Amino acid sequence: MQNNVTETTPAQVLLNSDMGEGFGLHEFGNDAALMEIIDVANVACGYHAGDPDVMNRTVALAAEHGVAVGAHPGLPDPMGFGRRRMVLTPEEVETIILYQTGALTAFLAKNGLSLNHIKPHGALYGMLAGDEELMQAAAGTAKQFGVPFYGLAGTAHESVCRAMGVEFVAELYVDLNYGPAGELLIQRRPAPTDPDAAAERVSRAVAGEPVLAVDGTPLNIAFQSICVHSDAPNAVDVASAVRKALTSSRSTHS
């Protein structure tokens, strides 16, 4: 799968991060610091992580910093942090996304925010990328809420959204590697990313140059948003480097 190529304008690229990934007193990530850097937060909605108190605090923090909030629904597998695949029907995909997104919208309303988008988490994200029937259920939920879907260009994420009239926002990842077919290689545990390498990937991609897969295959990746995960040990350094690269690219293109 080679991603489609579209021209990316640096001024339109938004930085997003997965947040609110904790339960009770056990919280992971660098949410408070990252909220000062990012544009968009993908907030966990209770299945892989994110209980009501965590959701409430995360949405309030986003509102305080002027950060847009989208739903980050995952598989009902907290032990595996939503990173283990499950066998699901399209109806089950629809209901688990609908249930989690609906829960988040209550906290958004409390804080005077509206739902910005839906972006599935972990294994669910990967399952939808490769299965049109499952993706139709997910896109239908995004259509119900009237919001865009964040995903990978050149996969069922994009093709199904286009077919169903759902706005699609393609992502570039800087702290995960890509396989030779353009697929994301999702790690079970977060690992540090070299901030300089992340910044270089962004600079190259914004300039229209290919991103290299793990085997050296050049990939032309279409994107309108860049994701930096919040749970890596040096996530703040990575996000800061990406923000600096975006700012530099905007100056170059202005």
pLDDT single digits (tens) 150-204 = 999 999 999 999 999 999 999 999 999 999 988 888 777 777 899 999 999 999 9
Q: Is the pLDDT of residue 8 over 80?
A: no
Length reported for the chain: 254
* pLDDT recorded at residue 68: 98
* pLDDT recorded at residue 1: 42
Q: Is the pLDDT of residue 38 over 90?
A: yes
Mean pLDDT of 85-113: 98
**For the sheet containing 68-72, what is the strand order?**
68-72, 40-44, 14-19, 225-227, 168-173, 149-151
CA distance 53 to 18: 17
pLDDT band at 116 (very low <50, low <70, confident <90, very high): very high
* pLDDT recorded at residue 12: 83
Higher-confidence residue of 127 and 249: namely 127
